[in-house]
Protein backbone atom coordinates (compact mmCIF):
# COMPACT_ATOMS: atom_id res chain seq x y z
CA UNK A 1 0.00 0.00 0.00
CA UNK A 2 1.25 3.50 -0.86
CA UNK A 3 0.37 6.74 0.82
CA UNK A 4 -0.15 10.10 -0.87
CA UNK A 5 -0.67 13.56 0.58
CA UNK A 6 -2.73 15.56 -1.92
CA UNK A 7 -2.01 19.28 -1.72
CA UNK A 8 -4.00 22.26 -2.91
CA UNK A 9 -1.34 25.02 -3.13
CA UNK A 10 -2.14 28.57 -2.11
CA UNK A 11 -1.12 29.76 -5.56
CA UNK A 12 -0.86 33.40 -6.41
CA UNK A 13 -4.32 34.76 -6.91
CA UNK A 14 -3.49 38.38 -6.87
CA UNK A 15 -2.99 41.57 -8.78
CA UNK A 16 0.43 43.00 -7.90
CA UNK A 17 0.13 45.88 -5.43
CA UNK A 18 -3.40 45.04 -4.36
CA UNK A 19 -4.68 43.03 -1.42
CA UNK A 20 -5.72 39.52 -2.43
CA UNK A 21 -9.49 39.69 -2.10
CA UNK A 22 -10.14 36.33 -3.70
CA UNK A 23 -9.78 34.45 -0.41
CA UNK A 24 -12.04 36.95 1.38
CA UNK A 25 -14.81 36.47 -1.16
CA UNK A 26 -14.52 32.79 -1.87
CA UNK A 27 -12.85 29.67 -0.43
CA UNK A 28 -14.11 26.57 -2.16
CA UNK A 29 -13.27 23.06 -1.03
CA UNK A 30 -10.89 21.15 -3.34
CA UNK A 31 -13.41 18.43 -4.10
CA UNK A 32 -11.31 17.10 -6.98
CA UNK A 33 -8.66 16.13 -4.43
CA UNK A 34 -11.30 14.77 -2.03
CA UNK A 35 -12.67 12.69 -4.88
CA UNK A 36 -9.20 11.31 -5.71
CA UNK A 37 -8.62 10.56 -2.03
CA UNK A 38 -11.91 8.66 -1.79
CA UNK A 39 -11.11 6.78 -5.01
CA UNK A 40 -7.60 5.57 -4.10
CA UNK A 41 -8.71 4.61 -0.59
CA UNK A 42 -11.61 2.65 -2.04
CA UNK A 43 -8.90 0.66 -3.86
CA UNK A 44 -6.72 -0.02 -0.85
CA UNK A 45 -4.31 2.95 -0.89
CA UNK A 46 -3.98 5.70 1.71
CA UNK A 47 -4.57 9.41 1.06
CA UNK A 48 -4.68 12.68 2.98
CA UNK A 49 -5.65 16.12 1.71
CA UNK A 50 -3.95 19.36 2.73
CA UNK A 51 -5.63 22.57 1.55
CA UNK A 52 -3.08 25.38 1.69
CA UNK A 53 -5.47 27.70 -0.14
CA UNK A 54 -7.88 27.58 2.79
CA UNK A 55 -5.14 27.29 5.41
CA UNK A 56 -1.92 28.94 4.17
CA UNK A 57 -0.46 28.77 7.67
CA UNK A 58 -0.50 24.97 7.55
CA UNK A 59 2.50 24.79 5.22
CA UNK A 60 5.02 24.35 8.03
CA UNK A 61 2.95 21.58 9.56
CA UNK A 62 2.59 19.85 6.19
CA UNK A 63 6.33 19.93 5.52
CA UNK A 64 7.09 18.65 9.00
CA UNK A 65 4.65 15.75 8.49
CA UNK A 66 6.34 14.92 5.21
CA UNK A 67 9.77 15.04 6.84
CA UNK A 68 8.71 12.85 9.74
CA UNK A 69 6.43 10.37 7.95
CA UNK A 70 7.97 10.17 4.46
CA UNK A 71 4.87 9.33 2.42
CA UNK A 72 5.59 7.60 -0.89
CA UNK A 73 3.95 10.42 -2.84
CA UNK A 74 2.94 14.07 -2.51
CA UNK A 75 0.47 15.20 -5.19
CA UNK A 76 -0.23 18.77 -6.27
CA UNK A 77 -3.35 20.03 -7.99
CA UNK A 78 -2.05 22.67 -10.36
CA UNK A 79 -3.68 25.56 -12.15
CA UNK A 80 -1.65 27.83 -14.41
CA UNK A 81 -1.39 30.58 -11.78
CA UNK A 82 -0.61 28.11 -9.00
CA UNK A 83 2.08 26.17 -10.87
CA UNK A 84 5.16 27.92 -9.49
CA UNK A 85 3.87 27.80 -5.94
CA UNK A 86 3.41 24.04 -6.34
CA UNK A 87 6.93 23.80 -7.76
CA UNK A 88 8.32 25.70 -4.78
CA UNK A 89 6.55 23.27 -2.45
CA UNK A 90 7.86 20.31 -4.43
CA UNK A 91 11.40 21.60 -3.81
CA UNK A 92 10.64 21.88 -0.10
CA UNK A 93 9.35 18.31 -0.12
CA UNK A 94 12.49 17.05 -1.86
CA UNK A 95 14.70 18.88 0.64
CA UNK A 96 13.01 17.10 3.55
CA UNK A 97 12.14 13.72 2.08
CA UNK A 98 14.31 13.04 -0.99
CA UNK A 99 12.71 9.65 -1.63
CA UNK A 100 9.15 10.96 -1.61
CA UNK A 101 7.92 11.28 -5.20
CA UNK A 102 6.08 14.36 -6.40
CA UNK A 103 3.04 14.04 -8.67
CA UNK A 104 1.57 17.03 -10.51
CA UNK A 105 -1.94 17.00 -11.96
CA UNK A 106 -4.63 19.43 -13.03
CA UNK A 107 -5.39 21.65 -15.95
CA UNK A 108 -1.95 23.20 -16.46
CA UNK A 109 -0.27 19.82 -16.34
CA UNK A 110 -2.81 18.36 -18.73
CA UNK A 111 -2.00 21.11 -21.23
CA UNK A 112 1.81 21.02 -20.92
CA UNK A 113 2.72 17.71 -19.22
CA UNK A 114 5.87 16.65 -21.10
CA UNK A 115 7.21 20.21 -21.42
CA UNK A 116 6.92 20.68 -17.67
CA UNK A 117 8.63 17.37 -16.98
CA UNK A 118 11.53 18.34 -19.25
CA UNK A 119 11.97 21.75 -17.62
CA UNK A 120 11.41 20.97 -13.93
CA UNK A 121 13.22 18.00 -12.36
CA UNK A 122 11.27 18.58 -9.12
CA UNK A 123 8.31 16.89 -10.84
CA UNK A 124 8.66 13.11 -10.72
CA UNK A 125 5.32 12.33 -12.37
CA UNK A 126 2.75 14.39 -14.23
CA UNK A 127 -0.78 13.05 -14.56
CA UNK A 128 -2.54 14.53 -17.57
CA UNK A 129 -6.30 14.37 -18.10
CA UNK A 130 -8.75 12.59 -15.83
CA UNK A 131 -6.60 11.47 -12.91
CA UNK A 132 -8.30 8.61 -11.04
CA UNK A 133 -7.05 5.55 -12.93
CA UNK A 134 -3.58 6.99 -13.55
CA UNK A 135 -2.98 7.98 -9.93
CA UNK A 136 -4.19 4.64 -8.65
CA UNK A 137 -1.93 2.78 -11.08
CA UNK A 138 1.00 4.93 -9.99
CA UNK A 139 0.34 4.16 -6.34
CA UNK A 140 -0.28 0.44 -6.80
CA UNK A 141 2.99 0.10 -8.74
CA UNK A 142 4.78 2.33 -6.25
CA UNK A 143 5.88 4.55 -9.10
CA UNK A 144 7.63 1.81 -11.10
CA UNK A 145 7.02 1.68 -14.86
CA UNK A 146 5.62 0.10 -16.96
CA UNK A 147 2.19 1.45 -16.13
CA UNK A 148 -1.05 -0.21 -17.09
CA UNK A 149 -3.01 3.03 -17.36
CA UNK A 150 -2.58 5.98 -19.67
CA UNK A 151 -2.07 9.59 -18.69
CA UNK A 152 1.24 9.33 -16.78
CA UNK A 153 4.43 11.19 -17.72
CA UNK A 154 7.46 9.72 -15.99
CA UNK A 155 11.23 9.50 -16.39
CA UNK A 156 13.18 6.45 -17.44
CA UNK A 157 16.84 6.32 -18.43
CA UNK A 158 16.96 10.10 -18.33
CA UNK A 159 14.09 10.44 -20.82
CA UNK A 160 10.55 11.68 -20.28
CA UNK A 161 8.12 8.93 -21.20
CA UNK A 162 4.36 8.74 -21.57
CA UNK A 163 2.18 5.83 -20.53
CA UNK A 164 -0.27 6.53 -23.33
CA UNK A 165 -3.63 8.10 -23.87
CA UNK A 166 -6.05 8.30 -20.94
CA UNK A 167 -9.06 6.05 -21.14
CA UNK A 168 -11.79 7.94 -19.23
CA UNK A 169 -13.74 6.14 -16.52
CA UNK A 170 -16.57 4.29 -18.24
CA UNK A 171 -19.10 5.30 -15.59
CA UNK A 172 -18.79 8.27 -13.23
CA UNK A 173 -21.02 6.50 -10.72
CA UNK A 174 -18.05 4.19 -10.00
CA UNK A 175 -16.56 7.09 -8.06
CA UNK A 176 -17.15 7.20 -4.32
CA UNK A 177 -18.44 10.53 -3.03
CA UNK A 178 -15.61 13.01 -2.49
CA UNK A 179 -14.14 12.31 0.95
CA UNK A 180 -14.96 15.62 2.67
CA UNK A 181 -13.76 14.22 5.97
CA UNK A 182 -10.21 14.76 4.67
CA UNK A 183 -10.74 18.53 4.85
CA UNK A 184 -9.98 20.30 8.08
CA UNK A 185 -12.94 22.43 9.16
CA UNK A 186 -15.37 21.32 6.44
CA UNK A 187 -17.88 22.85 5.85
CA UNK A 188 -17.45 25.69 8.35
CA UNK A 189 -14.15 27.02 6.98
CA UNK A 190 -15.28 27.03 3.35
CA UNK A 191 -17.20 29.91 1.76
CA UNK A 192 -18.92 30.24 -1.58
CA UNK A 193 -18.77 33.58 -3.44
CA UNK A 194 -20.64 36.33 -1.61
CA UNK A 195 -24.35 36.59 -2.42
CA UNK A 196 -24.25 33.35 -4.40
CA UNK A 197 -26.23 31.26 -1.91
CA UNK A 198 -29.36 31.72 0.19
CA UNK A 199 -28.34 29.61 3.18
CA UNK A 200 -25.18 28.38 4.83
CA UNK A 201 -23.49 26.00 5.14
CA UNK A 202 -23.09 25.78 1.41
CA UNK A 203 -20.64 23.87 -0.74
CA UNK A 204 -19.95 22.70 -4.27
CA UNK A 205 -20.57 19.54 -6.25
CA UNK A 206 -19.99 18.52 -9.86
CA UNK A 207 -22.63 16.45 -11.64
CA UNK A 208 -20.88 15.99 -15.01
CA UNK A 209 -17.49 16.12 -16.66
CA UNK A 210 -16.56 17.86 -19.87
CA UNK A 211 -18.30 19.95 -22.47
CA UNK A 212 -19.12 19.27 -26.11
CA UNK A 213 -18.36 22.82 -27.21
CA UNK A 214 -14.96 24.26 -28.07
CA UNK A 215 -14.84 27.97 -27.33
CA UNK A 216 -11.44 29.31 -28.36
CA UNK A 217 -10.56 30.76 -24.93
CA UNK A 218 -11.48 27.64 -22.95
CA UNK A 219 -8.88 25.11 -21.85
CA UNK A 220 -10.38 21.66 -22.44
CA UNK A 221 -7.18 19.74 -21.68
CA UNK A 222 -8.53 17.64 -18.80
CA UNK A 223 -11.77 16.20 -20.15
CA UNK A 224 -11.57 17.08 -23.86
CA UNK A 225 -14.89 17.26 -25.67
CA UNK A 226 -16.44 14.24 -24.03
CA UNK A 227 -19.48 14.73 -21.82
CA UNK A 228 -20.32 12.24 -19.07
CA UNK A 229 -22.53 12.60 -16.07
CA UNK A 230 -23.63 10.96 -12.85
CA UNK A 231 -26.99 9.23 -12.73
CA UNK A 232 -29.80 11.01 -10.91
CA UNK A 233 -29.85 8.25 -8.27
CA UNK A 234 -26.15 8.80 -7.53
CA UNK A 235 -26.62 12.55 -7.26
CA UNK A 236 -29.60 12.29 -4.93
CA UNK A 237 -27.66 9.92 -2.65
CA UNK A 238 -24.68 12.28 -2.71
CA UNK A 239 -26.76 15.35 -1.90
CA UNK A 240 -28.66 13.48 0.82
CA UNK A 241 -25.31 12.54 2.34
CA UNK A 242 -24.15 16.18 2.26
CA UNK A 243 -27.38 17.36 3.83
CA UNK A 244 -27.54 14.64 6.49
CA UNK A 245 -23.87 14.40 7.42
CA UNK A 246 -22.78 18.04 7.15
CA UNK A 247 -26.05 19.98 7.22
CA UNK A 248 -25.39 21.45 3.76
CA UNK A 249 -28.25 23.71 2.68
CA UNK A 250 -27.06 24.94 -0.71
CA UNK A 251 -24.88 23.59 -3.54
CA UNK A 252 -23.08 25.41 -6.33
CA UNK A 253 -22.98 22.84 -9.11
CA UNK A 254 -19.65 23.53 -10.76
CA UNK A 255 -20.20 21.64 -13.98
CA UNK A 256 -18.70 23.31 -17.03
CA UNK A 257 -22.13 23.23 -18.54
CA UNK A 258 -24.84 21.38 -16.69
CA UNK A 259 -27.64 21.59 -19.25
CA UNK A 260 -26.02 20.03 -22.33
CA UNK A 261 -28.27 16.99 -22.11
CA UNK A 262 -31.80 18.29 -21.67
CA UNK A 263 -33.34 14.89 -20.92
CA UNK A 264 -30.94 14.13 -18.11
CA UNK A 265 -31.50 17.55 -16.52
CA UNK A 266 -35.26 17.02 -16.58
CA UNK A 267 -34.86 13.58 -15.02
CA UNK A 268 -32.44 14.90 -12.39
CA UNK A 269 -34.81 17.75 -11.49
CA UNK A 270 -37.71 15.35 -11.18
CA UNK A 271 -35.69 13.05 -8.88
CA UNK A 272 -34.46 15.96 -6.76
CA UNK A 273 -37.97 17.36 -6.43
CA UNK A 274 -39.29 13.96 -5.37
CA UNK A 275 -36.46 13.54 -2.83
CA UNK A 276 -37.57 16.72 -1.02
CA UNK A 277 -34.08 17.42 0.29
CA UNK A 278 -33.75 20.62 2.30
CA UNK A 279 -31.30 22.26 -0.08
CA UNK A 280 -31.14 24.65 -3.01
CA UNK A 281 -28.59 24.83 -5.82
CA UNK A 282 -27.03 27.01 -8.51
CA UNK A 283 -25.91 25.80 -11.92
CA UNK A 284 -24.27 27.06 -15.11
CA UNK A 285 -25.65 26.87 -18.61
CA UNK A 286 -25.60 28.40 -22.03
CA UNK A 287 -28.59 30.62 -22.58
CA UNK A 288 -29.69 29.00 -25.82
CA UNK A 289 -30.03 25.61 -24.10
CA UNK A 290 -32.73 26.88 -21.76
CA UNK A 291 -36.46 26.98 -22.29
CA UNK A 292 -39.57 27.45 -20.18
CA UNK A 293 -40.10 23.75 -19.38
CA UNK A 294 -36.48 23.24 -18.32
CA UNK A 295 -36.49 26.38 -16.20
CA UNK A 296 -39.73 25.32 -14.53
CA UNK A 297 -38.19 21.97 -13.66
CA UNK A 298 -35.01 23.58 -12.34
CA UNK A 299 -36.97 26.00 -10.21
CA UNK A 300 -39.19 23.30 -8.78
CA UNK A 301 -36.12 21.25 -7.87
CA UNK A 302 -34.65 24.16 -5.88
CA UNK A 303 -32.51 26.08 -8.36
CA UNK A 304 -31.67 29.55 -7.03
CA UNK A 305 -29.29 31.10 -9.59
CA UNK A 306 -28.33 30.19 -13.14
CA UNK A 307 -24.99 31.47 -14.44
CA UNK A 308 -24.74 32.10 -18.16
CA UNK A 309 -21.42 32.25 -20.00
CA UNK A 310 -22.24 35.15 -22.32
CA UNK A 311 -18.68 36.48 -22.66
CA UNK A 312 -19.18 39.48 -24.97
CA UNK A 313 -21.83 41.89 -26.19
CA UNK A 314 -20.17 42.07 -29.58
CA UNK A 315 -21.67 39.71 -32.19
CA UNK A 316 -18.43 39.51 -34.17
CA UNK A 317 -16.39 38.43 -31.14
CA UNK A 318 -19.01 35.89 -30.15
CA UNK A 319 -19.07 34.49 -33.66
CA UNK A 320 -15.34 34.16 -33.65
CA UNK A 321 -14.69 32.77 -30.18
CA UNK A 322 -17.82 31.26 -28.70
CA UNK A 323 -18.57 27.81 -30.03
CA UNK A 324 -22.06 27.76 -31.64
CA UNK A 325 -22.45 31.46 -30.97
CA UNK A 326 -25.95 32.46 -29.97
CA UNK A 327 -27.68 35.57 -31.15
CA UNK A 328 -27.45 38.34 -28.55
CA UNK A 329 -31.21 38.83 -28.80
CA UNK A 330 -31.74 35.14 -27.96
CA UNK A 331 -29.50 35.51 -24.92
CA UNK A 332 -31.39 38.61 -23.80
CA UNK A 333 -34.67 36.76 -24.27
CA UNK A 334 -33.47 33.88 -22.06
CA UNK A 335 -32.14 36.23 -19.38
CA UNK A 336 -35.55 37.90 -19.24
CA UNK A 337 -37.31 34.54 -19.18
CA UNK A 338 -35.17 33.27 -16.29
CA UNK A 339 -35.94 36.46 -14.46
CA UNK A 340 -39.69 36.27 -15.11
CA UNK A 341 -39.71 32.72 -13.81
CA UNK A 342 -38.41 33.85 -10.45
CA UNK A 343 -34.86 32.55 -10.74
CA UNK A 344 -31.78 34.66 -10.30
CA UNK A 345 -29.51 35.08 -13.29
CA UNK A 346 -25.80 35.82 -13.36
CA UNK A 347 -23.98 36.88 -16.52
CA UNK A 348 -20.33 35.93 -17.08
CA UNK A 349 -18.29 38.14 -19.41
CA UNK A 350 -14.70 38.82 -20.37
CA UNK A 351 -12.84 41.61 -22.11
CA UNK A 352 -9.62 41.62 -24.06
CA UNK A 353 -10.26 38.68 -26.39
CA UNK A 354 -8.30 38.58 -29.63
CA UNK A 355 -10.08 41.00 -31.95
CA UNK A 356 -11.39 43.21 -29.12
CA UNK A 357 -11.67 46.88 -30.12
CA UNK A 358 -12.96 50.10 -28.61
CA UNK A 359 -16.27 49.44 -30.38
CA UNK A 360 -16.62 45.89 -29.08
CA UNK A 361 -15.81 47.02 -25.52
CA UNK A 362 -18.54 49.66 -25.80
CA UNK A 363 -21.01 47.09 -27.12
CA UNK A 364 -20.21 44.71 -24.27
CA UNK A 365 -20.58 47.49 -21.71
CA UNK A 366 -23.93 48.58 -23.12
CA UNK A 367 -25.15 45.01 -23.41
CA UNK A 368 -24.31 44.24 -19.79
CA UNK A 369 -25.97 47.41 -18.57
CA UNK A 370 -29.07 46.65 -20.64
CA UNK A 371 -29.66 43.14 -19.24
CA UNK A 372 -31.80 42.50 -16.14
CA UNK A 373 -29.01 40.56 -14.42
CA UNK A 374 -29.05 39.81 -10.71
CA UNK A 375 -25.32 39.38 -10.63
CA UNK A 376 -22.45 39.59 -13.07
CA UNK A 377 -18.81 38.76 -13.34
CA UNK A 378 -16.35 40.30 -15.74
CA UNK A 379 -12.86 38.88 -16.15
CA UNK A 380 -9.86 39.85 -18.22
CA UNK A 381 -9.19 37.41 -21.05
CA UNK A 382 -6.38 35.17 -19.86
CA UNK A 383 -4.32 33.18 -22.34
CA UNK A 384 -4.19 29.64 -21.00
CA UNK A 385 -1.72 27.35 -22.76
CA UNK A 386 -4.41 24.70 -23.32
CA UNK A 387 -6.87 27.05 -25.05
CA UNK A 388 -7.21 26.67 -28.82
CA UNK A 389 -6.63 30.40 -29.46
CA UNK A 390 -3.29 30.34 -27.63
CA UNK A 391 -1.11 29.46 -30.62
CA UNK A 392 -2.19 32.45 -32.71
CA UNK A 393 -2.05 35.13 -30.03
CA UNK A 394 1.29 36.65 -31.04
CA UNK A 395 -0.18 37.53 -34.44
CA UNK A 396 -3.18 39.16 -32.79
CA UNK A 397 -1.49 41.47 -30.33
CA UNK A 398 0.98 41.53 -27.49
CA UNK A 399 1.25 38.43 -25.32
CA UNK A 400 2.90 38.40 -21.90
CA UNK A 401 3.61 34.86 -20.77
CA UNK A 402 3.41 35.01 -17.00
CA UNK A 403 1.84 31.95 -15.44
CA UNK A 404 1.71 33.40 -11.92
CA UNK A 405 -0.57 36.20 -13.10
CA UNK A 406 -2.82 33.95 -15.20
CA UNK A 407 -5.82 34.33 -12.92
CA UNK A 408 -8.25 36.40 -15.04
CA UNK A 409 -7.46 39.53 -13.00
CA UNK A 410 -4.43 40.70 -14.96
CA UNK A 411 -4.00 41.88 -18.56
CA UNK A 412 -1.63 39.40 -20.17
CA UNK A 413 -2.78 39.85 -23.75
CA UNK A 414 -3.33 43.19 -25.45
CA UNK A 415 -5.20 43.01 -28.76
CA UNK A 416 -3.82 45.18 -31.57
CA UNK A 417 -5.09 48.75 -31.34
CA UNK A 418 -5.60 48.65 -27.54
CA UNK A 419 -3.32 49.03 -24.55
CA UNK A 420 -3.15 47.29 -21.18
CA UNK A 421 -4.05 50.58 -19.48
CA UNK A 422 -7.10 51.00 -21.70
CA UNK A 423 -8.30 47.45 -21.00
CA UNK A 424 -7.79 47.94 -17.30
CA UNK A 425 -9.69 51.24 -17.36
CA UNK A 426 -12.56 49.69 -19.34
CA UNK A 427 -12.71 46.78 -16.92
CA UNK A 428 -13.03 49.10 -13.92
CA UNK A 429 -15.48 51.36 -15.72
CA UNK A 430 -17.86 48.48 -16.48
CA UNK A 431 -17.79 47.33 -12.86
CA UNK A 432 -18.32 50.87 -11.62
CA UNK A 433 -21.22 51.56 -13.97
CA UNK A 434 -22.85 48.24 -13.15
CA UNK A 435 -22.74 48.66 -9.39
CA UNK A 436 -23.62 52.31 -9.18
CA UNK A 437 -27.17 51.82 -10.51
CA UNK A 438 -29.89 52.09 -7.85
CA UNK A 439 -31.67 49.00 -9.25
CA UNK A 440 -28.58 46.87 -8.71
CA UNK A 441 -27.94 48.27 -5.26
CA UNK A 442 -31.56 47.58 -4.33
CA UNK A 443 -31.07 43.94 -5.34
CA UNK A 444 -28.16 43.68 -2.94
CA UNK A 445 -30.32 45.14 -0.19
CA UNK A 446 -32.80 42.29 -0.72
CA UNK A 447 -29.90 39.95 0.02
CA UNK A 448 -30.24 41.04 3.64
CA UNK A 449 -33.01 38.48 3.91
CA UNK A 450 -32.24 36.39 0.83
CA UNK A 451 -28.61 35.65 1.74
CA UNK A 452 -28.07 36.77 5.33
CA UNK A 453 -24.82 34.85 5.75
CA UNK A 454 -23.31 36.76 2.80
CA UNK A 455 -24.16 40.06 4.45
CA UNK A 456 -22.54 38.95 7.69
CA UNK A 457 -19.36 38.13 5.78
CA UNK A 458 -19.59 41.37 3.83
CA UNK A 459 -19.88 43.46 6.98
CA UNK A 460 -17.06 41.54 8.63
CA UNK A 461 -14.75 42.42 5.72
CA UNK A 462 -16.17 45.87 5.03
CA UNK A 463 -12.78 47.60 5.22
CA UNK A 464 -11.34 45.41 2.46
CA UNK A 465 -14.38 45.92 0.23
CA UNK A 466 -14.30 49.69 0.68
CA UNK A 467 -10.65 49.65 -0.32
CA UNK A 468 -11.53 47.63 -3.42
CA UNK A 469 -14.23 50.18 -4.27
CA UNK A 470 -11.71 53.01 -3.92
CA UNK A 471 -9.33 51.15 -6.27
CA UNK A 472 -12.09 50.80 -8.86
CA UNK A 473 -13.24 54.41 -8.63
CA UNK A 474 -12.24 56.17 -11.82
CA UNK A 475 -12.03 59.74 -13.02
CA UNK A 476 -15.04 61.83 -12.02
CA UNK A 477 -16.14 62.40 -15.62
CA UNK A 478 -16.54 58.68 -16.49
d(CA 12, CA 14): 6
Measured from the CB atom, the residue of 36 and 211 that comes closer to ligand SF4 is 211
**Chain-centroid distance, C-alpha 348:** 13
Measured from the CB atom, the residue of 258 and 279 that comes closer to ligand SF4 is 258
Interaction with ligand SF4 in 302-321: which residues (CB under 6 A)? 309
From candidates 22, 26, 58, 214, binder to ligand SF4 by CB under 6 A: 214
| DSSP secondary structure code for residue 324 in this structure | T
Measured from the CB atom, the residue of 135 and 215 that comes closer to ligand SF4 is 215
Q: Least distance from C-beta 353 to ligand SF4, angstroms?
A: 12
Q: Least distance from C-beta 308 to ligand SF4, angstroms?
A: 10
d(CA 302, CA 235): 14
Measured CA to CA in angstroms, residue 206 lies from 31, 150, 238, 251 at distances of: 9, 24, 11, 9
Counting residues that bind ligand SF4 (by CB under 6 A) gives 10
From candidates 49, 52, 211, 308, binder to ligand SF4 by CB under 6 A: 211
Burial class (CB in 10 A: 0-12, 13-18, 19+), 323: middle
Picking from 140, 185, 222, the residue whose alpha carbon sits closest to that of residue 30 is: 185
Strand partners, 161: 154
Q: Which stretch binds ligand SF4 (CB under 6 A): 24-32, 190-198, 206-214, 226-234?
A: 206-214
Measured from the CB atom, the residue of 123 and 284 that comes closer to ligand SF4 is 284
Strand partners, 305: 282, 344
Measured from the CB atom, the residue of 176 and 224 that comes closer to ligand SF4 is 224
Picking from 80, 85, 74, the residue whose alpha carbon sits closest to that of residue 33 is: 74
d(CA 124, CA 477): 55
Q: Which stretch binds ligand SF4 (CB under 6 A): 16-24, 92-100, 212-220, 294-302?
A: 212-220
Is the Cβ–Cβ distance between 313 and 368 less than 8 Å? yes
**In what helix (H) or strand (E) does residue 228 lie, and over which residues does it extend?**
strand 227-229
Picking from 186, 250, 166, the residue whose alpha carbon sits closest to that of residue 30 is: 186
User: Would you count residue 256 as binding ligand SF4 (CB under 6 A)?
Assistant: yes
Q: Least distance from C-beta 361 to ligand SF4, angstroms?
A: 20
Q: Least distance from C-beta 58 to ligand SF4, angstroms?
A: 32
Measured from the CB atom, the residue of 211 and 265 that comes closer to ligand SF4 is 211
Q: Which stretch binds ligand SF4 (CB under 6 A): 37-45, 208-216, 391-399, 424-432?
A: 208-216
- Whether the bond between 149 and the residue before it is cis, its omega within 30 degrees of 0, is no
Q: Which stretch binds ligand SF4 (CB under 6 A): 43-51, 156-164, 210-218, 356-364?
A: 210-218
d(CA 425, CA 435): 16
Interaction with ligand SF4 in 414-433: which residues (CB under 6 A)? none
Measured from the CB atom, the residue of 372 and 386 that comes closer to ligand SF4 is 386
User: Would you count residue 215 as binding ligand SF4 (CB under 6 A)?
Assistant: yes
In a 13 Å sphere around the CA of 270, the CA atoms on its Cβ side amount to 8
Q: Least distance from C-beta 66 to ligand SF4, angstroms?
A: 35
Measured from the CB atom, the residue of 214 and 273 that comes closer to ligand SF4 is 214
Strand order across the 125-127 sheet: 46-51, 3-8, 73-77, 101-105, 125-127, 152-156, 159-162
Interaction with ligand SF4 in 86-145: which residues (CB under 6 A)? none
- Planar angle of CA 107, 191, 213, nearest 5 degrees: 35
From candidates 323, 357, 379, 461, binder to ligand SF4 by CB under 6 A: 323
Measured from the CB atom, the residue of 213 and 465 that comes closer to ligand SF4 is 213
Contacts with ligand SF4 by CB under 6 A lie at 211, 213-215, 218, 256-257, 286, 309, 323
Amino acid sequence: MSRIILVQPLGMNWEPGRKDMSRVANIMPPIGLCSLAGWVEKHGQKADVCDLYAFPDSEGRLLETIRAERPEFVGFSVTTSGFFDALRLAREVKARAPRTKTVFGGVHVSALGDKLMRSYPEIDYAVAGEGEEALLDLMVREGAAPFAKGGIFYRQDGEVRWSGKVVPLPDLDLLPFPDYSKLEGFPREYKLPLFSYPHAPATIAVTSRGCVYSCTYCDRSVFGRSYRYHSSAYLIDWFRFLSGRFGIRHLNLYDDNMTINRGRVLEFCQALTAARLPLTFNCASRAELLDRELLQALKKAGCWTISLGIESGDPGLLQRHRSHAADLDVIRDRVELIHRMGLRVKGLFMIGLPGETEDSIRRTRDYILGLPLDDFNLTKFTPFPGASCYGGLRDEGELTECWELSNCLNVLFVPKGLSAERLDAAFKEIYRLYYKRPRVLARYVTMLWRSPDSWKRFVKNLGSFLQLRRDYRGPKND
